[in-house]
């Protein structure tokens, strides 16, 4: 009779065990590192959001980034105009949209990536305002978007649509200049543009447009930003030019194609 012999356990591990252990170790290490990084970032964000820069900080930033063109004391140079009397509102508009510092001389300063934080922009604006006061920030009510949208749309058509298009899509001007699109412009920068008249835009003071008028225009533009074109696809909101081109290419093109098909079938 054969004897049953028990196999002794050799203690060998699966060849994949080491790889599994290494993988688990890497996952744990990565998870701990990611959690610590997120906590540190949150702490940094809180610190940044509560930190404020002084007018002196704004002066240093101005001298380092703006004085080459505008002068150490805002007096202006051959490369840039004086900033006397422009006020903090104009500084906020130009810097918060990336138009300044200017990358190169051109017919118009284009909007581009912003180079400063909100705190730095506020500090530079405060410094300019402290040297030579000018237009400043409006009451919050002017920017709340709760004005009369219908009246604002009418005022926009009368005063602004000839350059910015009736839908705020922007348009071409002379000599390589253009009126920018307003589809993503903030309420504060819409107000700043009306008050300070950047680039080729005229200044709309309270004699031209009252604070309530400006509030209504801002409300109308914010409404347009939040609501899609009621007529369907906007075709770039360029009016009869794009619409006429669409009809010419697809409408008349379809009629010609159908005419050719009918003629060929009859033959």
Fold match flag (53-137 vs 138-243):
yes
CATH of domain 53-137: 1.10.760.10
d(CA 196, CA 170): 19
Count H helices, E strands: the chain? 11, 2
Answer yes or no: pTM beyond 0.75: no
Architecture of domain 138-243: Orthogonal Bundle (1.10)
What are the domain boundaries of the chain? 53-137, 138-243
Q: What is the pLDDT of residue 13?
A: 58
On the question of pLDDT at 11 being above 70, the answer is: no
174 CB contacts (<8 Å, ≥6 apart)?
none
DSSP secondary structure string, 164-193? H-TTS--EE-STT-EEPP-SS--HHHHHHH
d(CA 218, CA 22): 59
Secondary structure E strands in 123-256? 171-172, 178-179
Provide the 8-state DSSP code for 158: H
Dump pLDDT digits (tens) for 129-162: 999 999 999 999 999 999 999 999 999 999 999 9
Q: What is the pLDDT of residue 50?
A: 47
On the question of pLDDT at 26 being above 90, the answer is: no
Q: What is the pLDDT of residue 17?
A: 64
CA dihedral 84, 87, 89, 93 (to 10 degrees): 10
């Amino acid at each position: 009779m054969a004897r049953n012999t028990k196999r002794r356990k050799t203690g060998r591990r699966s060849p994949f065990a080491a790889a599994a252990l290494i993988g688990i170790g890497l996952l744990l290490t990565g998870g701990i590192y990611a959690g610590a990084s997120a906590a540190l970032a949150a702490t940094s964000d809180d610190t940044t959001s509560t930190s404020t820069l002084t007018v002196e900080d704004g002066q240093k930033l101005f001298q380092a980034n703006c004085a080459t063109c505008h002068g150490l004391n805002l007096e202006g140079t051959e490369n840039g105009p004086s900033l006397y009397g422009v006020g903090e509102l104009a500084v906020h508009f130009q810097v918060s949209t990336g138009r300044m510092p200017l990358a190169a001389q051109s017919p118009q300063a284009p909007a581009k990536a912003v180079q400063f934080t909100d705190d730095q922009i506020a500090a530079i604006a405060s410094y300019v305002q402290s040297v030579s006061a000018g237009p400043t920030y409006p009451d919050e009510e002017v920017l709340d978007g709760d004005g009369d949208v219908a009246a604002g749309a009418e005022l926009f058509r009368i005063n602004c649509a000839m350059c910015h298009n009736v839908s705020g899509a922007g348009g071409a001007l002379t000599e390589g200049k253009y009126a920018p699109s307003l589809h993503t412009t903030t309420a504060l920068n819409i107000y700043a543009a009306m008050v300070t008249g950047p680039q080729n835009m005229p200044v709309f003071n309270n004699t031209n447009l009252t604070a309530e008028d400006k509030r209504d225009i801002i409300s109308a533009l914010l409404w347009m930003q939040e609501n899609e074109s009621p007529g369907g696809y906007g075709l770039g909101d360029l009016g009869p030019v794009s619409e006429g081109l669409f009809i010419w290419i697809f409408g008349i093109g379809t009629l010609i194609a159908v005419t050719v098909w009918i003629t060929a079938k009859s033959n």
